[in-house]
Amino acid sequence: AASRAAADARGRSERPQSAAASRIIGISLQEAQQILNVSNLNPEEIQKNYDHLFKVNDKSVGGSFYLQSKVVRAKERLDEELRIRAKDEKEKGWKAET
């Protein structure tokens, strides 16, 4: 509940769709970028960092399930932001054609 409240507070400064994604997933875009150590939304860099962090936090190699789950949530949030931005770009393209 506290995580969602914090995401809601941070989400007020985000675009409406991004804020909604932050509330649903429970993690802000900024927090997701910090967890996966990415400064921009480069899908290849996100995937590379996700793969590494997921692997090193595997419980079978002495990692933390909690940290591994944070990595998964961060990836989900960044993937959702990439989807939102792609949709926005597509809509802008349609508006420019008309």
pLDDT digits 0-9 by tens, 71-97: 999 999 999 999 999 998 888 887 666
Could you tell me the maximum CA-CA distance found in the chain, to the nearest angstrom?
57
Assign 65 a pLDDT band (cuts: 50, 70, 90).
very high
The CATH superfamily of 16-97 is DnaJ domain (1.10.287.110)
Domain-wise residue ranges, the chain: 16-97
Return the pLDDT at 89. 86
Residue 77 C-beta-side C-alpha neighbours within 13 Å: 28
Q: How many CB atoms lie within 10 A of CB 89?
A: 10
The confidence score (pLDDT) of residue 18 equals 72
Q: For residue 29, give the nearest of 10, 47, 45 by alpha carbon.
A: 10
Distance, in Å, from the CA atom of 7 to the CA atom of 92, rounded to the nearest integer, reads 28
What average pLDDT is seen over the chain? 85
Cα of 26 vs its chain's centroid, Å: 10
